A and B are shown apart, each in its own frame.
Chain A
Amino acid sequence: MIGINKNASQVIAEIVSNKKVGAYHHMVFAVGELAKFAKPGNFVAIAVGGESSSMVLRRAFAIYRAFDRGANGGLLEIVVAPHGAGSTWLTNQSVGFKVDLIAPLGTAFGIPTEPIRALLVGGGYGSAPLFGLSEVLKNRGCRVDMVLGASTAMKIYAPLDGKRSVSSLTITTEDGTTGTTGKVTDVLPGIIETNQIDIIYSCGPMGMLEAINQIAMDLGVVHQCAVEESMACGIGVCMTCVLPIRGEDGEIRMLRSCIDGPVVDGSSVIWNSKRQIPEGTWGAN
C-alpha cells in the first residue's frame, strides 16, 4: 500500500479565470508553489458551498494543467462539468473569489523512459488530464495519438492548444454531432493496430474504462486508467472510494482510489464489481 501524495497541501486559492467552454467550465486557480508538484493524473479536492453550506464534502477534479511560476504565480487548471449542486456552485463563482483547495492528490500516470507510441483516450471532461500528459509524453519523444468521445459535440473538451500536442486526434460522438458516430471503443482497435500502439492512457466514466481495458487486454497493450468512485474525503481517511485491485502478490484488495489511484493499471482492476465484493477478496466475509 502506498501513502498519501507526499506533496499534498491545503491552500486558499483565488480563482483567476472561469470560462464556459461547451458544456464545461475551464477554471484557473492561483495556488502558489504547490503547482510545481502537480503531475498528469493527480487531482484536486475543493470545498464547495461556502462556510454555512449544507454540502459537507469536497469535490474532486482531475488537474487539467499546472504552471509552476513560483510562490506567487503557480497556477492549477481544471475542467468542471456543472452537473450537481457542488460543481454548479463552483462554476458560479467569479474571478477573485477564494476557495479552500487541497492538491496534488493521488497517483500520476506512469511515464515511459523509452520513446514509445501512446494512445490517450478520454470520455467527456475526462479528456482534461490527458493534454498535460501528452505534453510530457511528447517531450520524452513519444508519438501521441488521442481519441476523445462523448454523447454529443458540446461535451467534447478539446482546446486548440491541446490539440497541437498530439499527432492525431479522433473524435467520436454518440449522436454524430461531430466526428465519427459511435463510441471511442468503436475506433480503438483500428487505431491501435495502424499506429502500433504500445500503451493506452485513459480517463472517463468507469463503463468506458472497462470497455477500453477489454480491448487493451485482447490486443496485448498496456493500459493505465484514471478511475472514479464516489469519494468523501479525497485524502485516504474515509474508505468510501475503494475498488477491488489485484496486487502483485495475486491478492485482491479493496484499495482507495484517492491514494492508490486514481491512476491504476487497468489489468489489475476487477471490473464490473459495483454492488458486490469480488469472490476471494482479502478479508471478504
Chain B
Amino acid sequence: MFNFRTSLGQAEFENPIFTASGCAGSGKELAQFFDLTELGAVVTKSIMLKVRSGRATPRMAETPSGMLNSIGLQGPGIDLFLEKDIPWLREQGARIVVSIAGESVEDYAILARKLRAVQGISALEVNISCPNVENRGQVFACQPATARAAIEAVRRNIGGELPIIAKLTPDVTSIVEIAEEVVAAGADALALINTVLGMVIDINTMRPKLAGKTGGLSGPAIRPIAVRAIYQVHEALPNVKILGMGGVASGRDALELILAGASAVSVGTATFGNPTAVIKIKEELQSELIAHGFDSLREAVGYAHRKEVNP
C-alpha cells in the first residue's frame, strides 16, 4: 500500500498536494468542482490585518508559459476572514493552512495573536515575500534582518503547536541565507517560492501593461527557479521541511520539486487554467512515484541529493 502521507513541522497531512496561497481564494469556488477534503490542505489567500482593496487594474498579463499578477493582497481583513471563511472551511472538513501578510512587524505579531486560539488550523504560512507592495522595503524576505524580525514576531505570539511556514522569494542573492535566518528565528518549515518580480510593456500604449507596473511572475516559466531554490535550501537545511511551489502543472512537475527536497507541493497558476488541476496533479504524482519504485512519498523527498554510486 503506497504511503502518501507527509508532514510540515508538527503538522501531518494525508497527501502532499495543496493549493497555493492567492490561487484558491478560501476554497469556496473550487468546491464547485471537487471535494476540498481531496486536498492535502487548502492554503488560503494571504490575509492582512485590515480590509484591503488591492491594486488598480489591469492586474494581469499572460506571458509565455506563465502570467504576471499584481493583485496587491486584496482581501477582507483578518476579522471578517475568521468570522466567515474559516468556519466554512471547517464545515467542509478541509485541512486548513492560513496564510498571513503584514505591512509591519507589528502586523505579523497581531495577526499571530488573532490566530493562535483559532480551532481547525493545521499550520500558518507567513508570507513575507509578496512582490506586489508599494515599497520594496516591505518585502521582508529580501533582507535577513527584516525576515528574521517578521518571523520572530509570529513565533513570540503564536504560542502552542501551530507550525510556522515562512514563505520566501527567490529574488535575493542567497535564498539559503534568508532560509537560515528565518529558521533561526523560529520557522518550522519553509514555503518556496513566491512569484518572481517581472514586468510587461504593452507595445501599443508603450507603457507598462499593469497598473502597478511590476507584477509577480508565476506558472511553468518559473519552475526551474523553484527547483533550484528548493534544491539549494534542502541541501543547506536537510531537516527543515519545505512546501514547494512554482509552476507545477502536472504530476511529473510535482515529483521534480519533491526530488529537489519538497515534502509537499502547492499548485497555483495551474488552477487558473484548470480548476481541477490539483486533483489531476495529485493522481499523476501518485502514479509517478509508484512508477519510479517508491513505496512512500517520504522516500522521494530530496532523492535528487543522494550520493553518486560508482558502478
Contact = CB atoms under 8 A, between A and B. Distances in A.
Q: Are these two chains actual partners, yes or no? A: yes
Interface in B46-77: 50-62, 64-67, 69, 71, 74-77
B160 interface: no
Interface string B256-279: 000000000000011111111000
A105 B223 CA distance: 30
B57 A230 contact: yes
A230 B51 CA distance: 23
A169 interface: no
Given A3-B29, A238-B69, A275-B211, A55 B62 contact: yes
Given A57-B62, A236-B25, A237-B23, A243 B276 contact: no
Given A56-B219, A238-B23, A276-B211, A102 B275 contact: yes
Interface residues of B, number: 45
Given A56-B65, A102-B275, A242 B54 contact: yes
Interface in B12-35: 22-25, 28-30, 32-33
A257 to B, nearest CB: 9
A274 B32 CA distance: 31
B220 interface: yes
A232 interface: yes
Interface string A230-247: 111101111111110000
B53 A239 contact: no
Interface string A248-285: 00000110000100000000000001111100011111
A283 B67 contact: no
B140 to A, nearest CB: 18
A254 B74 CA distance: 8
Nearest to A3: B28
Interface in A18-39: none
A47 interface: yes
Contacts of A236: 25, 28-29
Name the residue in A100, A233, A237, A241 with the highest tally of chain B Cβ atoms < 10 Å from its Cβ: A237
B272 A56 contact: yes
A117 interface: no
Nearest to A243: B57
Contacts of A56: 62, 65-67, 219-220, 249, 269-270, 272-273
Contact of A58 (B23, B28, B76, B273): B273
A10 interface: yes
A65 B117 CA distance: 52
A8 interface: yes
B56 A274 contact: yes
Contact of B69 (A240, A254, A282): A240
A254 B53 contact: yes
A229 interface: yes
Contact of A283 (B32, B58, B74, B249): B74
A240 B132 CA distance: 13
Contacts of A283: 50-54, 74-77
A284 B275 contact: no
Contacts of B51: 282-283
A156 B74 CA distance: 38
A277 B45 CA distance: 21
Categorize the interface residue count of chain A: 35 or more
B274 A47 contact: yes
A231 B59 CA distance: 9
A10 B54 contact: no
A229 B65 contact: no
Contacts of A235: 29-30, 32-33, 275
Name the residue in A9, A230, A232, A283 with the highest tally of chain B Cβ atoms < 10 Å from its Cβ: A232
A121 B58 CA distance: 25
Contacts of B45: 239
Contacts of B249: 56
A237 B69 CA distance: 13
A207 to B, nearest CB: 14
Contacts of A285: 52-53
Contacts of A237: 23-25, 29-30, 271-272, 275
Interface string A112-148: 0000000000000000000000000000000000000
Name the residue in A47, A233, A276 with the highest tally of chain B Cβ atoms < 10 Å from its Cβ: A233
Nearest to B272: A233
Contacts of B32: 4, 6, 8-9, 235
Contacts of B54: 239, 242, 254, 277, 283
B62 A242 contact: no
Given A232-B69, A237-B24, A238-B69, A57 B272 contact: yes
A132 B256 CA distance: 48
Pairs of residues from A and B, 4 with the lowest C-beta to C-beta distance, nearest first: A240-B60, A283-B51, A233-B272, A283-B53
Given A239-B71, A274-B56, A274-B58, 16 more contacts: A6-B32, A56-B65, A56-B273, A58-B273, A230-B59, A232-B62, A233-B273, A237-B29, A239-B59, A241-B60, A242-B54, A274-B57, A275-B211, A277-B56, A283-B74, A284-B53
Interface of B: 22-25, 28-30, 32-33, 45, 50-62, 64-67, 69, 71, 74-77, 211, 219-220, 249, 269-276
12 contacts: A8-B32, A10-B33, A47-B273, A56-B249, A56-B273, A236-B25, A237-B271, A240-B59, A241-B57, A242-B54, A253-B53, A273-B56
